[in-house]
């Protein structure tokens, strides 16, 4: 019934607009807006930052996306750098910056040529990079500064680093990481929380060979993410891995080929609060409410500047005994092992 009470108001508003002679243009005066994506990982050899620009103009917007200058800056147009700050630790491991240390990472322009086709210009894609291996400190805060040398437009963002993952604290089914066991087609992975980490995602890489084939093949199984609140940062968290069903989906030709198990590699990724928020807002909606907000921590622009930490446990050899629980588990999947 409320909609009927609103109808006279709606018609009055519509009439007022229809009686107005002023023309309305959706293309308001253009204002430079940078779109920035960057991720710091102290384990990476190189840090990459992507900078684009929003665009506006008359005509077909889809056609404009295919023009490189519409969304990309030219070489030499931007100054991209990351500045290191000293910091003090507050509650729950949060770092608050105090003063600059004097260390500055200057990023260089590079044109990539392997961008997949999509809604925007491809296959070329300009990015900015800097060698940072062994130079990032997880007791510091890092500030990103991107400035247009021509217009003076400046955007900034800051992020602490996620602490280092302790490999000795990672367990599978309550056993040390070196001994994999599987119960009813799933394995549980547990680890101690990491300072300033607010979202985790394990990944298992299962490597195998076909009989008569020398090449090593592998499938990656992403486990469910686990978010952590400030109140839980001191407690161990657990993520469940439904390994069997995912493995069955991804290994092809198992009906005609004989497979030989090789090894398992465990990856554990930990992201900071910025990554947690960006992922949460950007994830596909799970309700009938389809409108989503936009998360950004880029001051004066759009995008995200965040941090993560990565731990890799390589070549975890599992028991090959024919009577072992793991071999029985593989055989029960009926995928050639």
Phi, psi of 37 (to 5 degrees): -130, 125
- Say if residues 142 and 161 touch (Cβ distance below 8 Å): yes
How far, in Å, CA of 215 to CA of 209, rounded? 7
Q: What is the pLDDT along the chain (337 residues), one digit of tens a residue?
A: 333 333 333 333 333 333 444 454 444 555 678 889 999 999 899 999 999 887 544 544 444 455 555 678 889 999 999 999 999 988 767 888 999 999 999 999 998 876 555 544 446 688 999 999 999 999 999 999 999 999 999 999 999 999 888 887 777 766 666 556 666 667 778 888 888 888 998 888 888 877 777 778 888 888 888 888 765 554 555 666 766 777 777 776 555 566 777 778 888 899 999 999 988 887 766 666 556 668 899 999 989 999 999 888 766 666 566 666 677 777 777 777 7
Beta-strand relationship, 34-40 and 302-316: parallel
Task: State the pLDDT at residue 50.
Answer: 93
Task: State the pLDDT at residue 237.
Answer: 58
Task: State the pLDDT at residue 59.
Answer: 46
Contacts (Cβ under 8 Å, ≥6 apart) of 328: none
Task: State the pLDDT at residue 135.
Answer: 95
Return the half-sphere exposure (C-beta side, CA atoms, 13 A cut-off) of residue 245.
6
> Would you say the CATH fold of 167-270+309-332 matches that of 34-160?
yes
User: How many other C-beta atoms can be found within 10 angstroms of the C-beta atom of residue 71?
Assistant: 17
Q: Which of 264, 245, 43, 260 is nearest to 172 (CA)?
A: 264
| Predicted model pTM | 0.77
Task: State the pLDDT at residue 211.
Answer: 74
The architecture of the domain spanning 34-160 is Sandwich (2.60)
Task: State the pLDDT at residue 156.
Answer: 97
Q: Which of 161, 162, 158, 47 is nearest to 100 (CA)?
A: 158
How far, in Å, CA of 276 to CA of 295, rounded? 10
State the burial class of residue 16 (Cβ atoms within 10 Å of its Cβ: 0-12, 13-18, 19+).
exposed
Provide the CATH number for the domain formed by 167-270+309-332 in this structure.
Answer: 2.60.40
Domain locations in the chain as residue ranges: 34-160, 167-270+309-332
Q: Report CA torsion sign: 235, 276, 47, 203.
A: positive
């Amino acid at each position: 019934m409320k909609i009927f009470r609103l109808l006279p108001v709606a018609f009055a508003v519509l009439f007022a607009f229809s009686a107005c002679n002023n023309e309305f243009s959706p293309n308001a005066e253009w204002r430079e807006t940078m779109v920035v994506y960057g991720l710091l990982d102290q384990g990476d050899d190189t840090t990459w930052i992507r900078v684009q620009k929003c665009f506006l103009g008359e005509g077909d917007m889809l056609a404009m996306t295919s023009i490189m200058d519409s969304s990309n800056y030219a070489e030499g147009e931007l100054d991209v750098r990351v500045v290191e700050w000293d910091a003090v630790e507050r509650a729950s491991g949060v770092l608050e910056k105090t003063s600059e240390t004097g260390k500055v990472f200057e990023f260089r322009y590079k044109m990539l040529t392997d961008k997949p086709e999509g809604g925007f210009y491809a296959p070329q894609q300009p990015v900015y990079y800097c060698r940072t291996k062994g130079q990032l400190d997880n007791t510091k805060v890092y500030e990103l500064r991107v400035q247009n040398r021509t217009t003076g437009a400046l955007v900034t963002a800051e992020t602490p680093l996620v602490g280092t993952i302790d490999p000795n604290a990672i367990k599978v089914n309550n056993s040390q990481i070196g001994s994999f066991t599987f119960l009813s087609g799933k394995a549980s992975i547990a680890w101690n929380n990491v300072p300033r980490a607010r979202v985790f995602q394990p990944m298992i890489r299962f490597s195998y060979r076909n009989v008569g084939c020398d090449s090593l093949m592998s499938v990656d199984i992403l486990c469910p993410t686990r978010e952590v609140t400030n109140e839980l940062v001191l407690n161990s968290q657990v993520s469940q891995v439904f390994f069997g069903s995912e493995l069955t989906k991804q290994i092809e030709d198992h009906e005609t080929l004989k497979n030989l198990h090789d090894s398992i590699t465990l990856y554990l990724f930990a992201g900071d609060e910025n990554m947690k928020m960006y992922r949460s807002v950007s994830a596909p909606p799970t309700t009938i409410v389809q409108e989503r907000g936009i998360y950004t921590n880029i001051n004066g622009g759009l995008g995200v500047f965040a941090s993560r930490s990565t731990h890799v446990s390589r070549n975890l050899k599992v028991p090959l005994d024919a009577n072992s629980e793991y071999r029985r588990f593989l055989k029960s999947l009926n995928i050639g092992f």
